[in-house]
Amino acid sequence: MEFTAQQIADLLNGQIEGDPTVKITKLAKIEEGVEGAISFLANPKYTQYIYSTKASLVIVNKDLVLNAPVSATLVRVDSAERAFAKLLEMYNQVKLNKSGISKHAFISESAIIGDNIYLGEFAVIGENSKIGNNVKIYPQVYIGENVIIGDNTTLFAGVKIYSETQIGKDCIIHSGTVIGSDGFRFNPQNDNQKIPQIGNVIIADNVEIGANCAIDRATLGSTILHKGVKFDNLIHIAHNVEVGENTYIAAQCVIAGSTKIGKNCMLSGQVGIIGHLSIADNTMISAQSGISKNNLKKGEILMGSPAFEVGKYRKAYIHFRNLDAIVKRIDKLENEKKMRNF
């Protein structure tokens, strides 16, 4: 893709300074700029690079004051950060704008396929599945029987969707993720006999799931991710879990069976939550915390394992770090008391 500086300035409603005909073919950080690249300057910490960057075009704020000449052409906008984000979004849309059905893909005769879909090599769509319009299914994706996928959803290479799963509109599921695999249920009182998992997974609109996540189907009923949920990579969601709207979960979190996470929650990396709990709306959980009881108070910040309110945790941690000195002081006082009594 190639654009001129003037085309980019027009797109961003910006004011150009320098050569409007310079050609742009790539994106780069300002400190790593090369000829033909476009970058941006928003953080004052990086201002020094505006004078040395080799980028051909730099997006800057309108109020930026220059103290020396610059070689790059500039585009001045109200917010350089927002403008560059807009460019990144457009670039990504063009880059991922695939279409057509590979002759090496398999579509069941009973499947229903929408308009303008992309279906890559060795992708499989199972019996009675329904695929919406403008869906992108990358190579080696497996979609089982009776699956429903809404419009404008993207499944990247190697995603596996088990039977009965329902996925909404405008979702993104990254490579290696498995949705609808069996929940971990065995009966130790009956020779560890496996308990059949006959539920499904329901994913609402505008959900993004990172790479190599595992989302188990319900034993009965549904495992549910509500609208706007965002997952990082390497997350495990067990059977019958429900995650509320617009909740964000970072990498390596594990949520055990039948736990209910509220709306607008944020879980940092490596959080573990045991089963059958309820977590209130707007809860924030610090990294590596272990949740072992219900949290029904909205808006709390939890930390530690077992986790509790962050302010109390930090105070307790001060004492914990001084525990050895405190024990020595107590031992000394007890010995002095014994000597006095002796």
Looking at residue 5, its amino acid is: A
Which of the following is catalytic: 174, 226, 236, 239?
239
Quick one: three-class SS letters along the chain? CCEEHHHHHHHHCCEEECCCCCEECEECCHHHCCCCEEEEECCHHHHHHHHCCCCCEEEEECCCCCCCCCCCEEEEECCHHHHHHHHHHHHHHHHCCCCEECCCCEECCCCEECCCCEECCCCEECCCCEECCCCEECCCCEECCCCEECCCCEECCCCEECCCCEECCCCEECCCCEEEECCCCEEHHHCCEECCCCCEEEECCCCEECCCCEEECCCCCEEEECCCCEECCCCEECCCCEECCCCEECCCCEECCCCEECCCCEECCCCEECCCCEECCCCEECCCCEECCCECCCCCEEEECCEEEHHHHHHHHHHHHCHHHHHHHHHHHHHHHHHHHC
What gap in Å lies between CA 163 and CA 150, rounded to an integer?
15
Would you call 226 a catalytic residue per the annotation? no
Nearest to 203 by CA among 255, 164, 259, 256: 164
Query: CA-CA-CA-CA torsion for 147, 142, 185, 269, nearest 10 degrees?
Result: -100
Which residues on adjacent β-strands are paired with residue 57? 38, 73
Which residues on adjacent β-strands are paired with residue 224? 202, 242
Q: Which residues are catalytic?
A: 239
